[in-house]
Amino acid sequence: MPHFADVILPVPLQGLFTYSLPPDLAERARAGSRVVVPFGTKKTQTGLIARLHDRAPEGIDVKSILELVDEEPVVIPSQLSLWQWIADYYLCSIGEVFKAALPGKMKNSPRPTPDLSRPQQRISASVAQDGLTFSQPVDSFATPQGGEASGLMATDTVQPLSSHLPHLSPAQQTALDSIHSEWNQHAVCLLHGVTSSGKTEIYIHLIAEAIRRGEQVLYLLPEIVLTSQLTERLQAVFGQRLGVYHSKFTDVQRAKVWLRQLSSAPYDIIVGVRSSIFLPFRNLGLVIVDEEHEVNFKQQDPAPRYNARNVAILMASRAKARVLLGTATPSLDSYYNARLGKYGLVRLAERYGQVQLPEVEIVDMKELRRKRLVSGPFSPRLLEQMRQALDAHEQVILFQNRRGYAPHIECHVCGWVPRCPHCDVSLTMHSRSGRMTCHYCGFTTEIPARCPNCENPELRQHGFGTERIEEDIHNVFPSARVARMDLDTTRTRAAYEQIIHDFAAGETDILVGTQMVTKGLDFEQVSVVGILSADTMLNQPDFRAYERSFQMMSQVAGRAGRRQRQGHVLLQTMEAQLPLIRHVVAGDYDAMYQEQMTERRQFAYPPFFRLIFVYMKHRRADTVEHLATEFTRRLQGLFGQRVLGPDEPPVARVQSLFIRRAMLKLEPALPLGKVREVLLQTKTELLADKAYSSAQIYFDVDPL
């Protein structure tokens, strides 16, 4: 019988924590089961047993586990080893991975010392037939209505697989066959299929095949695309076999999906956002990553700052499963891997139903401004096209990558600009609420009636946010029905779904929005798409700005003319001569790729080099400056030219913390083990220094 357990605790400290096992628990404890342990002076924590052993730790007063939460593990060995990999690769603690992985309800400390011998205090949250029982204290899975754990029974009837699979077009069938032959040689295949080519139909065929082989499927989507539009389409084919895992679901719903995956009747398919890589899969056969180029597969904050697409690829390779990455605009990284021969590559160049790709027309805003032919956000050409579409009862999408009313306001007498008191950014004006808001920390304040600096009563607004665009449309087309889709109007899942539903049902004529409107939505009646300002995207201070601009513009253009006839896209820009703009117009991904890769190579950026950012934060500017200089100096001593900085990130103060950043550019052949060790070691040493003890240091590996 084991006497000790190494436990994962949801804290940012490296490593596992050893506890002793009381004799009555030693027999029942398993790796993957949750336990309650004393932690700190008075507190208890719910942790997870990573392993059991007999080696007494030396020189430490080992505390005892207080309680065993699960009679059977809730985490399986493949998950534990994946979490360890994530912690190692993304330079965080396994506790942070544990914290991100488990649905909230499953992480909470249960009631103090429930008496596990009294059956009425427990619910059996699963399948008794095969002896697999997750014993929970009554309240830990209680639903608001009063606590049942349905959805976990093996008796859930699973229909036989429908044979009503969509009939594929010849081009789709060829693509499907090519994917199979690529999979004979590569575990990962990239499907580069233009917008509306019917990639989803191909996925459906692949999923059905996997299910027939008795395998499980993970279908990953970026957060924003996971709408009922898509789930209904999949549910129509796969019914009860499909489980949805979404961050806007409640903890209870997510915990149910988790436990069901452990039962003898798991879902065959999980459709979910990035966190679904943490779910248990016993028999994974296929991973689909749709819109693989999407930035929000990467978690920015807090740790683990993982890329779900990349973790899914690793997960699949461990399970010997196949991976399909699908997109109309591949990330340079994936396309590079395909060209190197690491991934297979399949193209689908035509739209389903022979619909033509949209025609993209450049509108030279610089020229129009010079001739004083435009003052607001709309060019005469765009207005003309919008009018035509509305007259023909067709729909319009307008894309503006700025939310709020005016990105900033200014006193034209003294130059005063309202800024966030906590962050290094100007405040955005929101007219509906009559307030100015910081988009970094959420600080908000009333718009002053006059300049607080010089009393001038007239403050000028600069630029156009989505709110302002919406208002301007009302002025130009008073009878048009307009909806706005941005962070402010989609705080709830219901609000988001409503906007999409109304537009799909033709109850809205014009949809204006931020990058949310560029995502894989499928509307029938859209004939005109307006990109109001390419420049806000192009001018981002990021080496990926052009890649992203190309992706966003091509994706939003792809919303035009998806069913009946060719759509029309108006691309307004001050940089009409830019080659990138021409590539968008020509729909020439390869030209964009070649051009960007030349730059990436020249300046040693991904995919030729691996990046690691070291972020340092502190309340005092001088302290963080010293810390950053010292960190960088130490790294340079070991890694020389590969270390750059420290510099200030584009927003150098957020929530009253000053931020500095050092950058490592590593050649792919360099073994990461040593780098990892040095980074963690340096962090520990510097935080041990009294001068820096209240600083924060963290790493962003493969930043996006």
Q: How far is the CB of 272 from ligand ADP (least distance, A)?
A: 18
**Does 652 contact Zn ion by CB under 5 A?**
no
Structure tokens at 82: 């994946």
> Residue 482: which of 468, 463, 464 has the closest Cα?
468
Give the contact letters, 26-55, x = binds to Zn ion (CB under 5 A), - = no: ------------------------------
Interaction with ligand ADP in 117-136: which residues (CB under 6 A)?
none
**Does 197 contact ligand ADP by CB under 6 A?**
yes
Burial class (CB in 10 A: 0-12, 13-18, 19+), 446: exposed
CB 391 within 8 A of CB 476: no
Nearer CB in complex with ligand ADP: 175/704: 175
- For residues 413 and 408, give the distance between their C-alpha atoms in angstroms, rounded to a whole number: 16
200 binds, among Zn ion, ligand ADP, none (CB under 5 to 8 A by kind): ligand ADP
**Does 411 contact Zn ion by CB under 5 A?**
yes
Nearer CB in complex with ligand ADP: 38/166: 166
193 binds, among Zn ion, ligand ADP, none (CB under 5 to 8 A by kind): ligand ADP
**Does 596 contact ligand ADP by CB under 6 A?**
no
**Does 525 contact ligand ADP by CB under 6 A?**
no
Long-range contacts of 165-170 (CB under 8 A, 24+ apart): 165/204, 165/205, 165/208, 165/237, 166/198, 166/201, 166/204, 166/205, 168/198, 168/201, 168/202, 168/205, 169/198, 169/352, 169/353
Stretch that binds ligand ADP, among 174-182, 191-199, 396-404, 430-438 (CB under 6 A): 191-199
Cα torsion angle, 517, 523, 526, 528, sign = positive
690 binds, among Zn ion, ligand ADP, none (CB under 5 to 8 A by kind): none
Q: Which of 22, 57, 147, 166 binds ligand ADP (CB under 6 A)?
A: 166
Nearer CB in complex with ligand ADP: 170/541: 170
- For residues 682 and 700, give the distance between their C-alpha atoms in angstroms, rounded to a whole number: 15
440 binds, among Zn ion, ligand ADP, none (CB under 5 to 8 A by kind): Zn ion
Interaction with ligand ADP in 332-391: which residues (CB under 6 A)?
352
Nearer CB in complex with Zn ion: 414/586: 414
Q: How far is the CB of 353 from ligand ADP (least distance, A)?
A: 6
Indicate the angle between helix axes 493-504 and 228-238, nearest 10 degrees. 80
Number of chain residues interacting with ligand ADP (CB under 6 A)? 17
Bridge partners for 284 per DSSP: 216
By beta-carbon distance, which residue lies closest to ligand ADP?
198
453 binds, among Zn ion, ligand ADP, none (CB under 5 to 8 A by kind): Zn ion
Give the contact letters, 550-579, x = binds to ligand ADP (CB under 6 A), - = no: ------------x-----------------
Stretch that binds ligand ADP, among 195-203, 298-306, 392-400, 640-648 (CB under 6 A): 195-203
Q: Which of 109, 135, 200, 515 binds ligand ADP (CB under 6 A)?
A: 200
CB proximity list for 237: less than 8 A, separation 6 or greater: 162, 164, 165, 204, 208
Instruction: Determine the distance from the C-alpha atom of residue 166 to the mean position of all C-alpha atoms in its chain, rounded to a whole number.
Output: 29
Q: Which of 349, 392, 414, 586 binds Zn ion (CB under 5 A)?
A: 414
**Does 193 contact ligand ADP by CB under 6 A?**
yes
The total of other beta-carbon atoms located within 10 Å of residue 421's CB is: 11
Nearer CB in complex with ligand ADP: 551/572: 551
Structure tokens at 35: 């336990």
**Does 198 contact ligand ADP by CB under 6 A?**
yes
**Does 196 contact ligand ADP by CB under 6 A?**
yes
505 binds, among ligand ADP, Zn ion, none (CB under 5 to 8 A by kind): none
Q: How far is the CB of 481 from ligand ADP (least distance, A)?
A: 23
Stretch that binds ligand ADP, among 149-157, 193-201, 242-250, 588-596 (CB under 6 A): 193-201
Structure tokens at 548: 């992203």
**Does 92 contact Zn ion by CB under 5 A?**
no
**Does 172 contact ligand ADP by CB under 6 A?**
yes
CB proximity list for 293: less than 8 A, separation 6 or greater: 327, 329, 330, 331, 334, 551
Give the contact letters, 415-454, x = binds to Zn ion (CB under 5 A), - = no: -x---x-xx--------------x-xx-x-------x-xx
| Half-sphere exposure of residue 438: CA atoms within 13 angstroms, side-chain side | 21
- For residues 279 and 308, give the distance between their C-alpha atoms in angstroms, rounded to a whole number: 12
In 235-310, the DSSP E strands lie at 242-245, 269-272, 284-290
Interaction with Zn ion in 453-492: which residues (CB under 5 A)?
453-454, 456
- For residues 160 and 58, give the distance between their C-alpha atoms in angstroms, rounded to a whole number: 57
Cα torsion angle, 658, 652, 698, 665, sign = negative
Nearer CB in complex with Zn ion: 122/617: 617
- For residues 246 and 244, give the distance between their C-alpha atoms in angstroms, rounded to a whole number: 6
Q: How far is the CB of 284 from Zn ion (least distance, A)?
A: 42
Nearer CB in complex with Zn ion: 232/301: 301
- For residues 246 and 388, give the distance between their C-alpha atoms in angstroms, rounded to a whole number: 39
Q: CA gyration radius for the chain? A: 27
Q: How far is the CB of 288 from ligand ADP (least distance, A)?
A: 11
Task: Provide DSSP, 11-51.
Answer: SSSSS-EEEEPPHHHHTT--TT-EEEEEETTTEEEEEEEEE
Nearer CB in complex with Zn ion: 422/493: 422
Burial class (CB in 10 A: 0-12, 13-18, 19+), 672: middle
Nearer CB in complex with ligand ADP: 199/305: 199
CB 487 within 8 A of CB 514: yes
> Residue 401: which of 285, 568, 539, 515 has the closest Cα?
515
Stretch that binds ligand ADP, among 59-67, 166-174, 667-675, 691-699 (CB under 6 A): 166-174
DSSP H stretches of helix in 587-697: 589-602, 621-639, 672-688
Q: Which residues bind ligand ADP (CB under 6 A)?
A: 166-169, 172, 193, 195-201, 352, 520, 522, 562
Q: Which residues bind Zn ion (CB under 5 A)?
A: 411, 413-414, 416, 420, 422-423, 438, 440-441, 443, 451, 453-454, 456
